[in-house]
Structures are given as C-alpha cells and as structure tokens.
Amino acid sequence: MKEFAELIRTIDGTNKTNLKVAALTQYFNTAPEDDKLWTIAILSHRRPKRPVNTTLMREWATEISGIPMWLFEESYHIVGDLAETIALILPTTSEPSDKSLSQIIRELIELRKKSEEEKKKYLQHNWLKLNYYERFVFNKIMTGGFRIGVSQKLMTRALAASTGIDQDILAHKLMGSWTGENTTFQELVFEDNEVAMRGKPYPFYLAYAVEGNITDLGDVAGWSAEHKWDGIRSQTIIRAGELFVWSRGEELVTDKYPEFQKFLDVIPNGTVIDGEILPYKDGEIMNFNDLQTRIGRKTVGKKLLADVPVVVVAYDLLEWQGKDIRDLPFEERRKLLEELVEVVKDGVPFNHSGSDQPIPRQARNDNSNVDSSSNSDSGSSLAVPLLLSETMHFNSWEEVAAERNKAEERRSEGLMLKRKDSPYLVGRKKGDWWKWKVDPFSVDAVLTYAMRGHGRRANLYTDYTFGLWQDGELVTFAKAYSGLTDAEFRQVDAWIKKNTLERFGPVRSVTPHHVFEIAFEGIAPSKRHKSGVATRFPRIVRWRKDKPIEEANTLDDLKALIPTDGEFL
C-alpha cells in the first residue's frame, strides 16, 4: 500500500505528464505483479464493488474522530471530496502497518460478505494504521472516482514503457470485462488468450472538435462526411457465435438491447462494427430522451421494447472475417461495411464464401440519411436492427456547411468529417477525424443562486443557478458550473460572498446583478421543471459584463427555441 499511495501522491503532486508517466513506469518496473494488476484495474475504473456505503463510512469515521456529525458534513462541503475529508479528520496514525495493495483489496472483497459490525471494526482498525495518503487511497478504492489526472491512455503509456509492448496493442488488451479478480497480470498483459480476447472491444477512435476555420482541413475531396448521431456510441462484436455490445464507456450493455440478438442470425463470426445505438421507430430517429428511458433500466420490459425500439446505425467496420482491419483506409472499410449491411438488413445471412451475393447498391441520398429504404414501412420491426450511417461527399466546404445546418431537422448533433484514407486509430487523436457540431442554443440569463464547487473548486462558489425574466420575476431555468476561467470564477466567488442575500445550507441566493450567456445542446418542454423547460448540457459561454440584468432574456424567448415537435421530458 505504501508504494501505491506514494505513486498516487507523486502523480497528485505534479501537473507534468512526463513526471506522471515516469512515476507510473517506475512503479510498474518494481511493484509485485498482483499490485500491478490492481493498479491497472483501479486506474481503468475497475475497482472492486464497494463493501460499505458512504453513509456508514461517514458515520464510522466521524465516530473515531470525536466530532459531531454536522461538523463532519460541513467539513465535507468545504473539502469537497469524501475520501479526502475522512483522511483529514481522522486522528494521526501512531502505529502504521504495511499491507500490500492487493492484500487490502482482497480484504475489501472479503468484507462484502461480513456483518455490519465486522465491517465497522475492520474500517476503524485499518484507518488508524494508515498515514494520510494511504488513508486517502484506501477510501478512494472504496468510494471510487480516482480523479487524479491519470487517464487510461497515460497509464497505458507507462505500462508500454515498462513492458516493451506496443501501446495500441496494450490498449486493446486492457479493454473488456476483465477484473482484478478473474485474471492475472501475466495473463492480462502477456498472454494471447483467445477466450479472454473473444469479447474484447477495440479501443474507440474519438474525434476532436474542429478548431478554427473548416477550410483549413484542405481539399474537400479528401474528406467523407456523415451526420453525428446523438445516441450511444457502441461497438458490436460477433465472435464464435456470441454477441457483445460495448458502450464507449467500456460497459458491456448486450443485455440492455435484446433486439440485437438478431445479428447472430445474419452477421458472420469475426465481425466488429462501430456504430451508434439510436431509438428508431416508424422509419424515424426518435429523441435522445427516449433512449434515456432505456439506458437506466436493468431489465427491459416488452412495453419499453415496443415503445422505444433501438437500432445500430453503423459507422465503421473494425474486424472482418476475424481479421483486425483497422489499418485499412476508411473508404475500404466502409465498402466492406456497406456490402454487409446491404445484405443483412433484409434478414439475409451474409455468407463470406458465397460469391453469389447481390451486388451492393449505392447508398441513396434520401432524406433520412440513414439508409433504410427497404424498411421505411415496417415500423419498429426492422428485419434486422442495423442501418448504415450514410457517408456524403461534397464538392465544396460551403456544401458541407449547408449540410451541417440541417442537423436539427435530421436529429443529429452536426457532422463527422473523416479523411477518406484514414486508419481507425486508438483513442482521441487529432488530424484524421473531426467532429463539427452545430452551434448550440444560447440565452443571456441572470445569476440568482450559487453553491460551492467540488474537488478542485471546493471552497469556491462555482456552481450557479440562472434565471430568466417572466412577469418581472426571475424564474430559474438552468444550473451550470463550467465555462469560466479560474480567474473569472474567483472574481464571481468574491462578489458572491459580498452580495449574499440568504443562505440555505451550502446554497446562497445573491443579488441579481450579473448576466451570463448560457449555451445548451438541446431543449424540450418539461413538466418537472418550474420553468416548464428542460435544457441539455447547459454551460456558461461568457460573462456578459456589458449587459444589465434588464437586458437578460425572458422565459418566453427560451420557449421559442423549443422545436415544434418537442416531446415532454
């Protein structure tokens, strides 16, 4: 535990990527294999299930700290992180112990089965045997959310440096549903275990947003465009007669979408498709909010299946005939994908060996941009819930821009631009793929309430509530906590502390004085919100110091932005 805590401390204490990678590499060079495995697991969000809920953790920590519960809660509000608060308020260690990381994790796994009394005894005993950073790490293993500025990419880089294995190959090996409990470091990193690899997704290739002028991307002829669908990015794997559906967050979601089992009937083994899961009914893409009703469910009932059927809208083909084809040019991968979709969408199994496949038609430029020509009448019951995300080719960037402006009517977020000869890369990379989203909606709103932030903004008032005018009053419409610079946050924070009207626990109401431009991605009528409007991803765009509050927008201005066919949230 000492070494792991020291590693976290080093990483935590620097902003420099090189130092973080060096510390991780050093750790991977020297730590025992079990500890390395668990380190990889923890840093890739595969911590073991929490043995104790946070309410009990707070109570038990407060008890041995000898402070009242309310004081713990106040401290937590100010510190902003539970693991850190507990580590700080506990009495200082007198007799430290040194258990290894893997031993502590084994004990925490065992602890799940124990009685509450035993759990309490274990935690209180062990807290007192750890120093501040070990405690912090110990708590973090239980509470999760190890946000210490180490991405999976960074960790993979260090592991590659330590093992000599190529970074992209490692990234692939570390994907999937392994846990620290069902594999070993050797097996995970060094062995090519076919069974273990069977369900493994490839690392997703992610795009950055276009910066600057779109024409900087060069000759438009080198680019393929498609709509950026607003659903769940996913990878669909068919291998050895089994289906695996992965979300971008590396969550195996196969069971949430039983309709995709049909793929097994028609798509050959050794196929991996990159696509978007979208709610799709009566030949049309439904609202993202409809999809949300399915995301949260553990079991999917018949009614929900009928109400919100889903499809995979395919973007790309990563594996074909059991071969990793990510290095092929995008155009060639797409050609294979189009051939596949063309055959199977009508429920016809694709047969690799057969040369009697129908010659694929060119995707037509119909109005839906998802090629579902033969199914447009079949309602929720597509033969196979697989569509193609149509690629488009333009003669000028003006045409591309015009297509992007149709995003709202197509229910997309904008366009994806992919270089026609680009391989499928690992992770977020600049150059070959770009997302070019439509400009979000925005209004000018008045700051009405503020709350302290969390984590690095603990102790600063950075979480704001905004109001719009209605009949001479400000009606709350959104909360936002990102978009200002640290310097701006400090200015607003200082102003808030001097202009507080009332306090409600951690929340303060402030004198209406400041106007901010708030942008959001989507808008829909809502019965749950006082304003009658729900916005998606609201964020602060800029501080409108030039505007008096009288010039902020009205609630009616906001409602006018709701698309006419908007459904209730």
Partner 1 sequence: MSTPLLQFTSKGIYCAAAGVYLDPWKPVNKALITHGHADHSRWGHKKYITHHDNVPIITHRLGDINVSGIAHGDNLVINNVKFSFHPAGHIPGSCQIRVEHKGEVWVFTGDYKTEDDGISTPYQPIKCHTFITECTFGLPAFKWRPQSEVMNDVNEWCAQNHADGKTSILFAYSLGKAQRLIKHLDTSQMKIYCHGAVYKMTEVLRELIDFPETTLVTRETTKEELKGNIVIAPPSAHGSAWMRKFVPYATASASGWMTFRGARRRRAIDKGFVLSDHCDWDGLLESIDATGCENVITTHGYQEIFARYLREEKGLNAMSERTQYEGETVNESESDVESESEIEPVKTKSS
93: contact with partner 1 by CB under 8 A: no
Q: Which of 13, 347, 349, 358 binds partner 1 (CB under 8 A)?
A: 13
Residue 19 or 169: the one with the smaller Cβ distance to partner 1 is 19
Cβ-count burial of 525 within 10 angstroms (0-12 exposed, 13-18 middle, 19+ buried)?
middle
Q: Which stretch binds partner 1 (CB under 8 A): 87-95, 227-235, 256-264, 520-528?
A: 87-95
**Closest by CA position to 529, among listed 468, 450, 452, 461:** 468
Q: Which of 88, 128, 336, 561 binds partner 1 (CB under 8 A)?
A: 88
Residue 23 C-beta: closest distance to partner 1, Å: 13
Identity of the residue numbered 490 = R
Identity of the residue numbered 435 = K
497: contact with partner 1 by CB under 8 A: yes
**Closest by CA position to 36, among listed 180, 175, 225, 198:** 180
Count CB-CB contacts under 10 A for residue 260: 24
Residue 85 or 372: the one with the smaller Cβ distance to partner 1 is 85
Q: Which of 18, 213, 299, 485 binds partner 1 (CB under 8 A)?
A: 485
389: contact with partner 1 by CB under 8 A: no
Residue 498 C-beta: closest distance to partner 1, Å: 8
Residue 78 or 560: the one with the smaller Cβ distance to partner 1 is 78
Q: Which of 194, 299, 487, 505 binds partner 1 (CB under 8 A)?
A: 487
564: contact with partner 1 by CB under 8 A: no
Q: Which of 482, 513, 537, 567 binds partner 1 (CB under 8 A)?
A: 482
- Scan residues 136-195 and list those touching partner 1 (CB under 8 A): 149
460: contact with partner 1 by CB under 8 A: yes
68: contact with partner 1 by CB under 8 A: yes
Q: Binding string to partner 1 for residues 396 to 435, with x set by CB under 8 A, is what?
A: ----------------------------------------
Q: Which stretch binds partner 1 (CB under 8 A): 280-288, 395-403, 482-490, 546-554?
A: 482-490
Q: What is the bridge-based pairing of β-strands 232-239 and 223-229?
A: unpaired
Residue 195 C-beta: closest distance to partner 1, Å: 41
**Closest by CA position to 371, among listed 329, 343, 404, 403:** 343
Asked if residue 224 lies in contact with residue 334, where contact means CB atoms within 8 angstroms, the answer is yes
Q: Please list, residue by residue across 289-327, b when 16 or more beta carbons sit within 10 angstroms of its beta carbon and e when fewer do.
A: bbbeebeeeeebeeeeeeebbbbbbbbbbbbbeeeebbe
Q: Which of 54, 65, 103, 184 binds partner 1 (CB under 8 A)?
A: 65
> At residue 10, what are phi and psi to the nearest 5 degrees?
-65, -45
Q: Which residues contact 492 (CB under 8 A, 6 or more apart)?
A: 447, 450, 461, 462, 464, 484, 514, 543
Residue 90 or 318: the one with the smaller Cβ distance to partner 1 is 90
Residue 9 C-beta: closest distance to partner 1, Å: 10
Residue 48 or 453: the one with the smaller Cβ distance to partner 1 is 453
H-helix or E-strand containing 416? strand 412-419
6: contact with partner 1 by CB under 8 A: no
| DSSP-based three-state secondary structure for 263 | helix
**Closest by CA position to 569, among listed 538, 527, 536:** 527
> At residue 301, what are phi and psi to the nearest 5 degrees?
-80, 170
Annotate 331-374 with DSSP letters as a single string. Answer: HHHHHHHHHHHHHHTTTPPP-SS-S-PPPPPPPP--TTSB--GG
458: contact with partner 1 by CB under 8 A: yes
**Closest by CA position to 315, among listed 368, 377, 366, 391:** 391
Residue 464 C-beta: closest distance to partner 1, Å: 14
Residue 83 or 159: the one with the smaller Cβ distance to partner 1 is 83
Asked if residue 131 lies in contact with residue 68, where contact means CB atoms within 8 angstroms, the answer is no
Residue 207 C-beta: closest distance to partner 1, Å: 19
Q: Which stretch binds partner 1 (CB under 8 A): 73-81, 222-230, 285-293, 464-472?
A: 73-81
| DSSP-based three-state secondary structure for 431 | coil
Q: Which of 21, 37, 82, 84 binds partner 1 (CB under 8 A)?
A: 84
Token pair of 8 as six digits: 């976290």
- The C-alpha atoms of residue 419 and residue 50 are separated, in whole angstroms, by 44
Number of residues in contact with partner 1 under rule CB under 8 A: 40
Residue 476 C-beta: closest distance to partner 1, Å: 23
Q: Which of 35, 81, 226, 250 binds partner 1 (CB under 8 A)?
A: 81
- The C-alpha atoms of residue 287 and residue 173 are separated, in whole angstroms, by 35
Residue 147 C-beta: closest distance to partner 1, Å: 10
- The C-alpha atoms of residue 3 and residue 11 are separated, in whole angstroms, by 12
Asked if residue 386 lies in contact with residue 221, where contact means CB atoms within 8 angstroms, the answer is no
Q: Which of 30, 59, 69, 71 binds partner 1 (CB under 8 A)?
A: 71
94: contact with partner 1 by CB under 8 A: no
Residue 471 C-beta: closest distance to partner 1, Å: 35
Token pair of 386 as six digits: 């697989």
Q: Which of 22, 56, 64, 67 binds partner 1 (CB under 8 A)?
A: 67
Instruction: Give the interface with partner 1 as residue ranges (CB under 8 A).
Output: 12-16, 65, 67-68, 70-72, 74-75, 78-81, 84-85, 88-89, 92, 149, 455-460, 482-487, 490-491, 493-494, 497
